[in-house]
Amino acid sequence: MKDFFQVVRYQQAWHELMNVRPPQVLQTLGLYEAGGRIAAADVGSREDLPSFDRSTVDGYALRAGDIYGCSESSPGLLENVGEVKMGQETSLTLHKGQCCWIPTGGMLPAGADAVIMMEYTEKLDEKTVLTHRPAAPFENVMQAGEDVRAGQIIISAGQVIRPADIGLMASSGVKSLQVFKPYRVGIISTGDEIVPPDQELAPGEIRDVNSYALYAAVDECGAIPTAYPLVKDQFAAIQQTVAAGLAANDILLLSGGSSVGVLDVTLDVLMSFADARMLFHGLAVKPGKPTLAVGIKDKLVIGLPGHPVSALTIFHILVAPLLRPRNEIHDCEGHLSINVFSQAGRDDFIPAAIEEQKDQKLIHPLLGKSGLMSILARAQGFIHIPYEKQGIKAGEKIKIRMF
């Protein structure tokens, strides 16, 4: 292994990963199974929504022109010719001076062009209704196709399917759709000093954080995580676990063993596999400089720093965009609360929290000793200080990349 990093910009690293990420497999799912998945193709509505003119209130369907100018002192007089039944096609046709009772969601009868709410009417008898205010054409009416037209794109390729999207497809007559099969992501933590969370610590030992934090992060992105047992910094042990991970997953995340050091065997293990090719080793970022990536046949292995804060930061910068669409990664604008300093020649990513003020959002950098997990746990996202800048001044309008 080389003794020094050949660092690259994180944008270059991301493009390298995108160019070699495993191919996405398509599958067709019914609506019950499609929630949270990523649409692989546009989906069009099969029909107009609604498919008929319908009332949005309980009241009387009528012709708006018949009650033009009516009021409390001069009510309109209409002949009640019947009732629209919920969930049934109506055969009623309204003529001049006629109305009929209609429930919310009921089908507007032929000849009608408005509905007046029952609160503004008075039923004199079974055949006579007074109206105490006028109605505009199509008032309290949702016209056929007003929500969605037949053939209209209601789901775009690359969109994450939300519960409301499922409802829209169901109401539009869509039964199934093509989605991308989620990536399977294996998570391997290495290190002689790492022990499970439930084990008592001996001097010099630390508990495994990355397996659990990365598992949750992968799951949050809609991929399928698998965490492997902890592995000691031994070539054969790491090689065996990596081989198992490659056989069962599309992407492997290794944490630990990516810094230059005596026990650093991660890269040596990865490059020992047939068809292994180095993508990069070292990023011009803080935190996360000792990040590496290797392609092995059609699989992708990303070596994350062993430090949990660095590992999660790099996950959000490089891995999350591989697993979910970039349009699902959101920024929020606000004003920086204090001066933040950086070093030109690297991209800095600083945990930050947002304070909602009356007239603006204030973004607070969460500063402290490098690697405090409590800081990252309080953060809502991170501030990016670009490669060419040496800091950002208080009061500047900036963006925070939300987790």
CATH for 68: 2.170.190.11
> Which one of 189-198, 291-300, 340-349 scores highest in mean pLDDT?
291-300
**Dist. CA 193–CA 121, nearest whole Å:** 79
Are residue 296 and residue 170 in the same domain, yes or no? no
What's CA 145's distance to the chain center, in Å? 28
Domain boundary among 127, 142, 157: 142
CB 274 within 8 A of CB 286: no
Structure tokens at 292: 């590496």
What's CA 32's distance to the chain center, in Å? 18
Q: What is the CATH number of the domain that holds 366?
A: 2.40.340.10
Are residue 349 and residue 390 in the same domain, yes or no? yes
Closest CA to 43 of 127, 150, 122: 150
What's the mean per-residue pLDDT of the chain? 92
pLDDT at 295 over 70: yes
Percentage, residues of the chain above pLDDT 70? 95
Q: What is the CATH number of the domain that holds 276?
A: 3.40.980.10
Q: How confident is the model at residue 292 (pLDDT cuts 50, 70, 90)?
A: very high
Q: Answer yes or no: is 2 within a domain.
A: no
Structure tokens at 230: 């902890």
pLDDT at residue 5, rounded to an integer: 63
Residue 253 backbone phi and psi in degrees, to 5: -115, 115
Are residue 236 and residue 306 in the same domain, yes or no? yes
Count of structural domains within the chain: 4
**Dist. CA 332–CA 398, nearest whole Å:** 8
Are residue 232 and residue 112 in the same domain, yes or no? no
* Helices and strands of the chain, counted as H and E runs: 9, 29
pLDDT at residue 3, rounded to an integer: 47
Q: Answer yes or no: is 4 within a domain.
A: no
* pLDDT tens sequence across 135-158: 999 999 999 999 999 999 999 999
Q: Answer yes or no: is 231 within a domain.
A: yes
Domain boundary among 269, 300, 326: 326
* pLDDT tens sequence across 5-57: 689 999 999 999 999 999 999 999 999 999 999 999 999 999 999 999 999 99
Q: Answer yes or no: is 68 within a domain.
A: yes
The pTM (predicted TM-score) of the whole model is: 0.84
Domain boundary among 282, 301, 326: 326
* pLDDT tens sequence across 208-229: 999 999 999 999 999 999 999 9
End-to-end Cα distance, the chain: 34
Domain containing 289 equals 10-24+182-326
